[in-house]
């Protein structure tokens, strides 16, 4: 049991930090521009596939730097030539544009790399067990993933709290128009923030690709969870996104590891009852309901606190 707790906590924190790499960019972009970027998970997928392709051409370490940069450039282009032109039609049009983009990116990726998973492997330099907990070998690559996401988190914190750029971004979170009045080139700030957000998503993709499955449906699988994270944490709140990321990461990882069901806790139902909704619910394991847990959380928070955990804005 304690082995399960240690391993699941490690994996859960890791998944949570990955989620935060994505949700932080999404939240900052949403707060500044009012655009909920539907294609954010697609940038994560692009990162994974660029990482895979570049790893094959020039090796993992250059790919680790180049792939996120490429994704960042794609993101900036989307902002400059797509969103900026759509802005005058309102937020719904912008949301729909990113929705169409997410759709198109998935199709392009499956057109180029196919619909089946690609062979994106852990680099040999990191392909060894880091340490052994009880009887389980914990892979070094996961520790590397954790280290990368934690250092990005710290870097983000320093940039946001200690630099002038961070000050502008923070100000724009709460008073976007005032920042414009103070003479900052809001258009360029938006483009750079969008680019950095996409690049972070791309980085998450590059490092998550070898560990999870790199496949053309990875964006549509992760995307909805990402939205749950930022709605749950409170739209526009970075600390909220952080807490929600960790919470959902941990909940999902623990749920997958647990095999219990009502039947195993209270004994099987009378077989004479026949199949019904009750037997379905009685026999379903916690691992099986893991995929729907985030959405249950979403419904709960909407009933209890509609603005999200740490959200303040009503929009």
Partner 1 sequence: MTDATAPLELKEQPGGRVRFYGIWLIAAVALIVLPLVFSSGGSLTSFSLIGIAIIFALSYNILLGQTGLLSFGHAVHYGLGGFLAVHVMNAVANYNWPLPLPFIPLFGGIGGLAFAIVFGWVMTKRAGTVFAMITLGIGELVASSSLILRSVFGGESGITTDRTALPHMFGWSFGPQRQVYYLIAFWVMVSAIAMYALTRTPLGRLCNAVRDNPERVEFIGYDPHVVRYFAYGFAGFFAGVAGGLTAINFEIANSAYLGATQSGFVLFAAFIGGTAYFFGPILGAILVTYLQLGLTDLTTVWQLYFGIIFIGIVMFAPGGIAGLLMMHRPLVRAGSLATVIPSYLVAALPTLAFALGVILSIETVAHYTDSEGEGSVVHLVGIPFDAVKPTTWLAAAVLVVVGFVIARLTWRRVTEAWDRAATIARDRGYLA
Q: How many residues does the chain have?
A: 315
Which one of 66, 99, 168, 263 is in contact with partner 1 (CB under 8 A)?
99
Task: Kindly indicate which of the ranges 117-125, 176-184, 257-265, 281-289 contains the residues binding partner 1, using the contact rule CB under 8 A.
Answer: 281-289
Which one of 19, 29, 48, 97 is in contact with partner 1 (CB under 8 A)?
97
Is there binding between residue 227 and partner 1 (CB under 8 A)?
Answer: yes
User: Which run of H or E residues covers position 106?
Assistant: helix 91-113
Cβ neighbours of 163 (radius 10 Å) = 11
Rounded to 10 degrees, the C-alpha dihedral 67/70/75/76 comes to: 150
Q: In the complex with partner 1, which residue's Cβ is closer, 101 or 191?
A: 101
Cβ neighbours of 259 (radius 10 Å) = 10
Is there binding between residue 113 and partner 1 (CB under 8 A)?
Answer: yes
Rounded to 10 degrees, the C-alpha dihedral 73/77/80/83 comes to: -120
CA distance 14 to 31: 25
Which one of 1, 92, 132, 134 is in contact with partner 1 (CB under 8 A)?
92
Which one of 61, 161, 302, 305 is in contact with partner 1 (CB under 8 A)?
302
Is there binding between residue 272 and partner 1 (CB under 8 A)?
Answer: no
Q: In the complex with partner 1, which residue's Cβ is closer, 85 or 185?
A: 85
Does residue 249 sit in helix, strand or coil? helix
Nearest to 67, CA basis, from 279, 210, 167? 210
User: Which run of H or E residues covers position 34?
Assistant: none
What is the total count of residues that contact partner 1 (CB under 8 A)? 54
Residues at the contact surface with partner 1, assessed by CB under 8 A: 30, 34, 36, 82, 85-86, 89, 91-93, 95-97, 99-101, 103-104, 107-108, 110-115, 220, 224, 227-228, 230-231, 235, 275-277, 279-281, 284, 288-289, 291-292, 294-296, 298-299, 302-303, 306, 314-315
């Amino acid at each position: 049991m304690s082995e399960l707790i240690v391993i699941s906590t490690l994996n859960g924190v890791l998944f949570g930090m990955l989620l935060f790499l994505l949700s932080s960019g999404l939240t900052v972009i949403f707060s500044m521009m009012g655009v909920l970027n539907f294609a954010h998970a697609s940038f994560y997928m692009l990162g994974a596939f660029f990482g895979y392709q570049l790893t094959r051409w020039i090796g993992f370490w250059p790919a680790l730097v180049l792939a996120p940069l490429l994704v960042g450039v794609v993101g900036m282009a989307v902002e400059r030539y797509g969103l900026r032109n759509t802005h005058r039609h309102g937020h719904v049009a912008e949301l729909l544009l990113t929705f169409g983009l997410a759709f198109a990116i998935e199709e392009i990726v499956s057109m180029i790399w196919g619909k089946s998973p690609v062979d994106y492997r852990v680099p040999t330099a990191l392909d060894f067990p880091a340490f052994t907990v009880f009887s389980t070998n914990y892979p070094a690559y996961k520790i590397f993933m954790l280290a990368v996401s934690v250092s990005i988190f710290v870097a983000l914190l320093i940039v946001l709290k200690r630099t002038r750029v961070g000050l502008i971004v923070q100000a724009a979170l709460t008073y976007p128009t005032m920042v414009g009045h103070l003479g900052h080139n809001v258009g360029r700030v938006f483009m750079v923030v969008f680019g950095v957000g996409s690049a972070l998503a791309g980085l998450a993709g590059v490092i998550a690709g070898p560990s999870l499955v790199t496949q053309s449906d990875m964006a549509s699988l992760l995307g909805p969870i990402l939205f749950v994270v930022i709605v749950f944490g409170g739209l526009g709140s970075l600390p909220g996104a952080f807490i929600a990321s960790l919470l959902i990461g941990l909940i999902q990882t623990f749920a997958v590891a647990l095999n219990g069901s009502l039947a195993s806790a209270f004994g099987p139902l009378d077989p004479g009852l026949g199949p019904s909704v009750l037997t379905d619910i009685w026999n379903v394991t916690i691992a099986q309901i893991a995929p729907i847990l985030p959405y249950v959380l979403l419904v709960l928070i909407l009933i209890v606190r509609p603005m999200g955990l740490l959200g303040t804005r009503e929009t």
